[in-house]
Amino acid sequence: MNCPDFRFELLHTDRGSDARRSRLQTPHGPVEMPTFMPVGTLGTVKGVDVGRLGETGAQMVLSNTYHLALRPGEETVAELGGLHKFMGWSGPILTDSGGFQVFSLSERTQIDEQGVTFRSHLDGSPIELSPERSIAIQEALGSDLVMVFDHVIGLPNSPEAVAEATWRSVRWAERCKKASTRDDQMLLAIVQGGLDAGLRRECAKELVAMDFPGYAVGGLSVGEKPVDMYRTLEATVPELPEDRPRYLMGVGRPEDLLEAVARGIDMFDCVMPTRNGRNALVYTDEGPLRLRNAAHVLEKRPLEEHCPCPACRYSRGYLRHLFQAKEMLGPVLASIHNLTYYQRLMAEAREAIVENRFPEFREEKLRGWGVG
């Protein structure tokens, strides 16, 4: 992979699907895959300290280039020892490039071939991000995995807009690779192309020809239907090298994780577990629970009987009380439970793949969640 501090091992492929059991060795330890990365945009997973985060089973976390460049600034992070020391996380870290903010803050951006000028969502001041600037920030942060800067747009969109953003992303990826100077960071390219299967395949082929150490599928979960996401993965993933990690960016519904694993994806991230936890929605094998519902007032059962997380030491009735009373412990415990649930789901998926029973595992989970 031309990346001496990293090693990707494909350990097993399920006989009944394209699900893969793999391992990525990084300078800050191994990552067993498929895996889910909690999102710590500003160097913290909201409401969860790194000790509790490790107890959920999390192996690698995600932080964000745009947001950390705004505050406290990459120079400050570097001066304080780099992102690992700054946030107290000893495991691997992946940083997004700021490309998603091109989509999420689109009303505050101006885009040209050179890059993107943002009006800060904090004070309106201009911030310029180019492929070279994004890489420089990520190198200063010192994350393990870094992403190319890409042009993300919402879906559905016009074919012309999708094609323009896709080929711009390819050109920017080449510039990112040329700008990269650290051999202790793994640079991942991002395949774009909207819902156009042919364009996705063309984009993937162009990026594979550039020989990146890893590849991501981006520009999904931005307004399209789940079935369209799955079709896009079916067109894209076969074009990616088997001996490199594959990352589906920003996708987080449990059913989407399993559908993507079945199609050969190794890595995921999403704010969904913590954002929903803060809003009293928790995940279980019987489907999601809304803790503010009156049905839980006198409920003595935990969220799940065999879950090791601290939230499951309490009754559903108590957890509902915390939300009704606006006690901060409620969102914290619900977030920890959801993160633990996602890590358990990925661990169970890894086991099912090795035992060649992933399709049965997926169907069992979908039935329990009432999906399908």
The residue-averaged pLDDT of 80-109 equals 93
* CA angle, residues 31, 33, 38, in degrees to nearest 5: 70
Q: Is the pLDDT at 357 greater than 60, yes or no?
A: yes
For residues 48 and 86, state if they share a domain: yes
User: For the purposes of burial, counting CB atoms within 10 Å of the CB of 164, is it exposed (0-12), middle (13-18) or buried (19 or more)?
Assistant: middle
| Structural domain ending residue among the three candidates 252, 270, 288 | 270
Q: Is the pLDDT at 230 greater than 90, yes or no?
A: yes
195-218 per-position pLDDT tens digit: 999 999 999 999 999 999 999 999
The residue-averaged pLDDT of 237-259 equals 97
Q: Is the pLDDT at 134 greater than 90, yes or no?
A: yes
Higher local confidence (pLDDT), 2 or 168: 168
136-169 per-position pLDDT tens digit: 999 999 999 999 999 999 888 999 999 999 999 9
One-letter amino acid of 104? S
According to DSSP, the β-strands at 116-119 and 109-111 are antiparallel
The residue-averaged pLDDT of 221-241 equals 95
Alpha helices in the chain, H assignment, sequence order: 50-55, 65-70, 74-79, 83-87, 99-104, 131-141, 159-179, 197-209, 226-236, 254-262, 272-278, 316-324, 329-354, 358-369
Q: Which two tokens stand for residue 361?
A: 């595992």
Q: Is the pLDDT at 1 greater than 70, yes or no?
A: no
Residue 1 belongs to some domain of the structure? no
24-39 per-position pLDDT tens digit: 999 999 999 999 999 9
Q: Is the pLDDT at 186 greater than 70, yes or no?
A: yes
Residue 259 belongs to some domain of the structure? yes
Confidence of residue 126 (pLDDT cuts 50, 70, 90): confident
Can you give the pLDDT at residue 203? 98
254-312 per-position pLDDT tens digit: 999 999 999 999 999 999 999 999 999 999 999 999 999 999 999 999 999 999 999 99
CATH number reported for the structural domain that contains residue 36 in this entry = 3.20.20.105
Can you give the pLDDT at residue 3? 78
Q: Is the pLDDT at 97 greater than 70, yes or no?
A: yes
For residues 302 and 262, state if they share a domain: no
Which domain covers residue 134, as residue numbers?
A: 7-270
Residue 354 belongs to some domain of the structure? yes
| Residue from 141, 98, 138, 104 nearest 116 by CA | 98
Q: Which two tokens stand for residue 49?
A: 């300290």
The residue-averaged pLDDT of 73-95 equals 98
For residues 161 and 105, state if they share a domain: yes
Q: Which two tokens stand for residue 215?
A: 């590849």
For residues 46 and 117, state if they share a domain: yes
Distance CA 23, CA 30 (A): 7
Q: Which two tokens stand for residue 126?
A: 């201009």
| Structural domain ending residue among the three candidates 249, 270, 291 | 270
Residue 2 belongs to some domain of the structure? no
Can you give the pLDDT at residue 182? 97
State how many domains the chain has. 2
Q: How many CA atoms within 13 Å lie on the side-chain side of 242? A: 8
For residues 314 and 216, state if they share a domain: no
Range 262-297 burial, b when 16+ CB lie within 10 A, else e = bbbbbbbbbbbbbbbbbebbbbbbeeebebeeeebe
Can you give the pLDDT at residue 292? 98
For residues 294 and 255, state if they share a domain: no
For residues 257 and 365, state if they share a domain: no
- pLDDT over 70 percentage in the chain: 99
Contacts 24+ apart (CB under 8 A), 156-159: 156/194, 156/195, 156/223, 156/224, 157/194, 159/194, 159/196
For residues 221 and 281, state if they share a domain: no
With a CB cutoff of 8 Å and minimum separation 6, the contacts of 85 are none
Can you give the pLDDT at residue 175? 98
The residue-averaged pLDDT of 344-366 equals 98
| Structural domain ending residue among the three candidates 219, 251, 270 | 270
Question: How much is the mean pLDDT over the chain?
Answer: 96
For residues 159 and 232, state if they share a domain: yes
For residues 256 and 275, state if they share a domain: no
* Dihedral pair phi/psi, residue 87, rounded to 5°: -100, -5
- From the list 96, 150, 256, 266, the catalytic residue is 96
Strand-pair partners of 35: 267
Residue 34 belongs to some domain of the structure? yes
Q: Which two tokens stand for residue 289?
A: 């629970």
Q: Is the pLDDT at 121 greater than 90, yes or no?
A: no
Residue 329 belongs to some domain of the structure? yes
Confidence of residue 99 (pLDDT cuts 50, 70, 90): confident
Can you give the pLDDT at residue 202? 98
Whether 123 is catalytic is no
For residues 253 and 324, state if they share a domain: no
For residues 277 and 265, state if they share a domain: no
Residue 309 belongs to some domain of the structure? yes
Whether 5 is catalytic is no
Confidence of residue 105 (pLDDT cuts 50, 70, 90): confident
| Residue from 106, 209, 213 nearest 151 by CA | 106
Residue 221 belongs to some domain of the structure? yes
- From the list 5, 183, 269, 285, the catalytic residue is 269
